[in-house]
Amino acid sequence: MGYYRPGDSAQTQGGLPIDGLTGQFLAKKTDSDFDVEWASVPGAGGSPGAAGYPSVEVPTGFDITGSGTASVVIRFATGYSLPTSAAQQAWSTGAEQAAAATAAVAGLTPALASKADLDASGRVPAAQLPGYVDDVLEFPNFAAFPIPGETGKLYVSLASNRQYRWSGSTYIEINPSPGSTDGIPEGSVNLYFTAARGVAAAASW
């Protein structure tokens, strides 16, 4: 184990410096290995950071395992400053912690109040849906359509799979296809090719 006296060059191997006093502790002087010195803990009544080292002063005879209260002095290292914000200083109180947690979700209550509800089947009621969502209404058959209907809505008969709209006084069918060529009237140019027309056309060749 190596030693050195104050004033000597830094020792080159591990060891404890001599000339320390009772109650002192070893402190690093620099970041270099073995460059340490004995330092004193700030005494009672000293200002925070007076000696540059943090410390905690506990009253003599205080039993940490017992009950009761006691004053404990905490001294901070040089360069450390206590929080100046009132919110930071009061964070240790339960009331301030609860207030901070409440503030974190301050906008949650209004947001929940504006959400859509669910009915007994787990669906959003039609009254809370945007107008374009329930524009198509399905009924078992044409006879089940409401009277009067509502303009801007599309009514579907599930029995015939046909679609209708309300004109203001009656339902008008809307079909994408007539379903059969029998339902398409003959025009003046594009005529149907009937058997008689076929025979007449062949005889003229």
Query: For the segment 124-150, what is each residue's pLDDT rounded down to a tens digit?
Result: 887 777 766 668 899 999 999 999 998
In the chain, beta strands by DSSP E: 25-28, 36-39, 55-57, 73-75, 136-139, 154-157, 162-166, 171-174
**Overall number of domains in the chain:** 1
Q: Is residue 147 part of a domain?
A: yes
| 28 within a domain of the structure (yes/no) | no
The parent domain of residue 142 ranges over: 126-174
The pTM (predicted TM-score) of the whole model is: 0.29
pLDDT digits (tens, 9 = 90+) for 66-91: 666 766 666 665 555 555 555 555 55
Identify whether 5 is part of a domain: no
Residue 23: inside a domain: no
